[in-house]
Structure 1
Amino acid sequence: MPPPPPSDRVNWPSDFGCRFIVFVDTEEEFDWAAPFSRTARSVRAIAALPSMHRRFIDHGVAPCYLCDYPVVADSAAADTLRSLIADKGVAIGAQLHPWVNPPHDEQPSTHLSFAGNLPPALEVAKLDALTRTITDAIGAPPRAFRAGRYGLGPRTLRLLAERGYRVDTSMRAFHDYSRAGGPDFSEIAPDAFRTEERQLIEVPLTVVYTGALRRHGSRWHRLAGHVPRGHGLLARSGLLSRVPLTPEDVPIDEAMAAVRLAVDQGARLLTFSFHSPSLVPGNTPYVRDAADLARFHRWWTELLALLARLDVRPASLDEVIDAADRVT
């Protein structure tokens, strides 16, 4: 993905301030080390969402739940989601996991786990099935989208705009998935920008380079990738770390340092993200046991306290869209 021209960057209105939004990849549980399978469709972990949701609401945070097909096709999970959106500002978006999203006209594989690699007609059919199922289950069409595994393709943004989506958050800033057959976002910065005739707002996942080499972080990170354990050596030396804003595999001290740096550098919108199955130990590599889950919750407690001290206020999906619509 080439970087957007400066004219497409969203210049947030002055009264927007510095804000943050939380996206939750709301999805089925599956073995992350196993081949992609259509049979891994359990959504039992959705039952843990209301407790985490209440923690967010108590801090004024209205999450956007990016739901995939097994979640919204399950009646109990859909009931849970409908109860969550009763709170002001909470939104339901879409997340496309091709291997569990009908129609099932392909053989699941790593390459086709990136929806943008699907045959054009099949990508359209899967997106339409997901959008329709969310609309039927929730009672309103989704306005935000994330491609599972960040698997945007050359047609995806146009398809989203044609279907009335307003926000895409499929780009993970400064990350490259091309070795696995996915897209390369290494030239995408965390700043929001307009795309597809300016109808669609791209809100990349916030990633911050920290350390002495951060000013040329993408270049040094790319070079370190050609050296065995190069990224780890740079991070341990304090020279360069690439820090996504997520509690999954990112220590709280690194996340807090990244937030402080982003705010100091003038960031206007920070995006945080995690996977819903992480709320139950044993579902993801990030939360394997009760101790990991306790660390997960402490991460959010400390992070939300820091954001409050820095006067970085939460934003709902509607507030993000409305603010972007007020500027050109």
Structure 2
Amino acid sequence: MPYRVPAPARDALIRWPAAFGTRFLVFVDVEEEFDWSAPLDPRNRSVTAMRALPAAHARFADHGVSPAYMVDHPVASDPAAVDILRGAIADGRSAIGAQLHSWVTPPYAPPAPGDSYAGNLPPELEVAKLDALTTLLTDAFGRPPLAYRAGRYGIGPATTALLASRGYRIETSVRARYDYRHDGGPDFTGIGNAAYRWGPLLELPLTSVFTGALRRSGSLFYPALGRIPHARGAFARAGLLQRIALTPEDMPIDDAIAAVRIAVREQGQRLLSFSFHSPSLEPGHTPYVRDAADLRHFWNWWSRMFATLVQLGVTPVTLDEVLAVADRRV
């Protein structure tokens, strides 16, 4: 049975103080390279795209951005990749979190349908993989990771309790307004963009915004449109309804800028979460950056987005700062 993630109670939502302003985070899913169109294979552990991370980190630093690097097992197992990440977090502001790709994280088990979503695994196997990744990251970076993301956003009913038992403080696997049940994954359609308390954890959903004339009813109409062939595309082209996630990967910059303006000016969102995959920093590793032209578009996306955020008065924040302010609101 696919996991429908429960919506937070109103009193679980984080009420950011006025002094917090309106802020944004950039998450980077730091992971191995693989063919996105092929079956997942535990032997895919190459991390050559990590060589592009120092230059990318410098670009973000030029805009005052300190990314949260969500690191998976193949990256944390590679000494050269670990050295690169150590250099990145030497700024004292960028953070290392854990990203659990179940298919490349030991202990391994015979594959079963849906097990690329770690939350679908038996809890004893999910926590064994979590322990293997947590130990590896702790040894590599000298402190245990406090933030977690499931690969493919694949949390399950046991995940948050397992994370809390291992000392995690932040969960980031919720992709607001998305539904992965068609592939055996979780359903986030009942979750909005606001940060909230999920038991002892702070949940920071990845921001997704409905745009178009029907946007105020997006959470009602968008799931229904998914049951009608081609309806979502038709409504998007007509300017009626579109769902925009804050990522440069397959989200046109004009649409993303419109989404940010709606989130900030209309919805009053106080914390925006952006995300992308580290292999997109080098051509040829993801379907989003296939060649040099795509990479130029990738960086143009960020340039225009940063200019928009400045115009709107939205400033960068670190993961540690977010946690500190949220803790004070409890």
The 5-angstrom pairing of residues 47-86 of structure 1 reads 47-86=51-90
Aligned to 1:274: 276
Give yes or no for contact 1:207–1:243 (8 Å, CA) kept in 2: yes
Counterpart of 2:220 in structure 1 is 219
**Which of residues 9, 24, 27 is equivalent to 2:13?**
9
* SS of match in other structure, 1:24: strand
Question: For 1:232-274, what per-residue CA distance to the aligned partner results, in whole angstroms no more than 9, with x for missing partners?
Answer: 1010000001000000000000000000110012100000000
What are structure 1's unaligned runs of at least 5 residues?
A: none
Q: Counterparts of 2:17 and 2:325 in 1: how far apart (Å)?
A: 7
Match of 2:42 in 1: 38
* Structure 1 contact 244–250 (Cα < 8 Å) conserved: yes
Tell me which moved more, 305-314 or 238-247.
305-314
Q: Given the alignment, which residue of 138, 141, 151 partners 1:138?
A: 141
Match of 1:97 among 101, 118, 134: 101
CA RMSD of aligned residues (A): 0.8
Match of 1:285 in 2: 287
1:18 corresponding residue in structure 2? 22
Q: Secondary structure at the match of 2:124?
A: helix
The answer on whether the counterparts of 1:29 and 1:42 sit within 8 Å (CA) in structure 2 is: yes
Partner SS state of residue 115, structure 2: helix
Q: What residue in structure 2 maps to residue 182 of structure 1? A: 185
Specify the alignment match of 2:306 in structure 1. Answer: 304
Q: What residue number does 2:122 align with? A: 119
Q: Which segment drifts farther, 17-26 or 279-288?
A: 279-288
Q: Is the 8 A contact 1:110 1:180 kept in 2?
A: no
State how far apart, in whole Å, the 2-side matches of 1:315 and 1:255 are: 20
Q: How does 1:156-195 map to 2 (within 5 A)?
A: 156-195=159-198
8 Å CA contact 1:194, 1:202 repeated in 2: yes
For 1:110 and 1:323, locate their aligned partners in 2 and report how far apart those are by CA, in whole Å: 40
Query: Percent identity at matched positions?
Result: 59
TM-score (norm 2): 0.97
Say whether the 8 Å CA contact 1:24–1:66 is kept in structure 2. Answer: yes
Contact 1:171-1:204 within 8 A present in 2 as well: yes
Q: Could you tell me how far apart the structure 1 residues matched to 2:37 and 2:61 are?
A: 33
Give per-residue Cα distances to partners, 1:184-224, cap 9 Å, x unaligned: 0001001000012xx21000000000011111102211111
Counterpart in 2 of 1:319? Answer: 321
Preserved contact between residue 32 and residue 284 of structure 1 (Cα < 8 Å): yes
Q: AA paired with 1:253?
A: D
Could you tell me which residue of structure 2 aligns to residue 256 of structure 1? 257
Is 1:87 equivalent to 2:91 in the alignment?
Answer: yes
Q: Distance in 2 between matches of 1:22 and 1:56?
A: 9
3-state DSSP class of the match of 2:25? strand
Runs of 4+ in 1 over 3 A off after TM superposition: none
Match of 2:156 in 1: 153
Pairwise CA distance, 1:86? 0.4
What TM-score, normalized by structure 1, do the two folds share?
0.98
Structure-2 separation of matches of 1:71 and 1:6: 38
Aligned residue for 2:45, secondary structure, equals coil
User: In 2, Cα distance between the equivalents of 1:222 and 1:154?
Assistant: 22
Contact kept? 1:177, 1:184, Cα under 8 Å: yes
Query: How many residues were matched structurally?
Result: 325
Where 1:92 maps in the other structure, the secondary structure is strand
1:110 Cα shift?
Answer: 5.2
